[in-house]
Amino acid sequence: MATTARVRPALRRTLRSLEQLLGGFGTALLALGLLVWAVTLGWFTAATTLGLVHGLADRERARLGRWGVEVAAPGVRPVRLGEALRDPATRSELAWLARHAVAGNVVGFLAVLAPFSAARDLTFPLWWWTLPDGWASPSLGFWVVREWSGVPGVVLLGACWASATVLLAPVAARRQLRVARRLLGQDPGDLTMRVAELTRTRAAALDAHAAELRRIERSLHDGAQNRIVATTVLIGAARRSLTTTGPAATDQLLGQAQDAAELALAELRAVVRTILPPVLADRGLAGALQGLAAASPVPCTTTVDVPVRSAASVEATIYFVVAEALTNVARHSGAERAHVDVRLRAADDGSEVVEAVVRDDGAGGAREGVGTGLSGIRHRVEAMDGRWSLTSPPGGPTELRAVVPCGS
């Protein structure tokens, strides 16, 4: 049982890594073709070649976004060769193109070869004897098997291929994503990239705001409004019953109207709490987070080290990030324990930030875009000019980290 618990996460982690590497193999093949074109004929069609480079880099950014935090593209793209060579973002894209065309194809080829060779050699005892004489050889082809005594060596080679796949595929996948993010990501000193990032986060904040308004409208329409309508109907029926059925029926209808009004009031309070929880103003961030932990279906502990009150927008962002994260833990992770760690600390530039970390010991495999609400967390954090990251390998544990500047 314990062996199975260890094998399954390793298998899921390997399959996920192979999926990443095969996706990178596709863009690496395109990068190789584009690199050959750029070196041979690209000098004569600079504008077209630069457009192809930007397009392929954007495609790689979209792929990176599917495996973690979204990578923003530059807002302004040079179309002339001289401008492109002076542009830091374009130079980074060209560096990525050259590197990915070589390393991406090598790693992608190995990501195909290793599991195929492992499957071929491990199943060798089942079919080698059906081949013509001289054709039964292992994946590396160094020797020919003519008797059963040579089969264990091939199986051992298959086990080596399988071990290399399990051990090295996650390392190669992480390395490939890290290098691509470094070359295609943002330079903090590049004003153009910064403007592009702020434009993107502003659009995301507006989308999140519109979605929040739609949620509030649905909550009011489907809940409190229906209760209030029912209350008015019951009060009208009670007035008519005074002259028709008598005081007993009127008293019953008024009791039902009172119950409906109380339910409407409770639902209105619930909606108000989702807009800006009063507990933040009453008990502060520490008390509000302790309340979330106490209400969590998964046993949760908290560590809050924020000695001073932050801006209401900062506290609300941290509160909703933790609330959404604990909801995900309860619904999707299968975790037995969770921990929330919120601290006030100094950033690299000397400013103060509030950092929230939510960890659980669940099954892992969480990623944005699969109905887990992670997009909403990202939009909330980025709208505050903050940063977030998610580490959730198959098999767990999962760690969600959000950093929000106190000056937001």
**pLDDT tens digits along 274-302:** 566 666 777 788 888 888 888 888 889 88
Distances (CA, A) of 324 to 57, 318, 375: 32, 10, 11
Peptide bond before 307: cis, by omega within 30 degrees of 0?
no
To 10 degrees, what angle do helices 46-66 and 151-184 make? 110
Distances (CA, A) of 398 to 171, 257, 338, 360, 376: 18, 48, 10, 6, 18
Q: Are 339 and 302 in contact (CB under 8 A)?
A: yes
Query: Which positions ≥6 away from 267 have C-beta within 8 Å?
Result: 219, 223, 224, 227
- Cα–Cα distance for residue pair 399/387, rounded to 1 Å: 14
Domain coordinates of the chain in residue numbers? 2-185, 193-275, 282-405
Count the residues in the chain: 408
Query: Regarding the domain delimited by 282-405, which CATH topology (the fold level of the hierarchy) does it fall under?
Result: Heat Shock Protein 90 (3.30.565)
Query: Percent of the chain, pLDDT > 90?
Result: 8
Query: pLDDT per residue over 239-255, tens digit each?
Result: 777 777 767 777 787 78
Query: pLDDT per residue over 119-157, tens digit each?
Result: 988 888 888 777 777 777 777 777 777 778 778 888 898
Amino acid identity at 282: D
- Cα–Cα distance for residue pair 190/187, rounded to 1 Å: 5
Query: pLDDT per residue over 9-34, tens digit each?
Result: 777 788 888 888 898 899 999 999 98
Q: Are 154 and 145 in contact (CB under 8 A)?
A: yes
* Buried/exposed code over 204-241 (b: 16+ C-beta within 10 A; e: otherwise): beeebeeebeeeeeebeeebbeebbebbeebbebbeeb
- Cα–Cα distance for residue pair 57/54, rounded to 1 Å: 5
pLDDT at 213: 65
338 exposed, middle or buried (CB, 10 Å; 0-12, 13-18, 19+)? buried
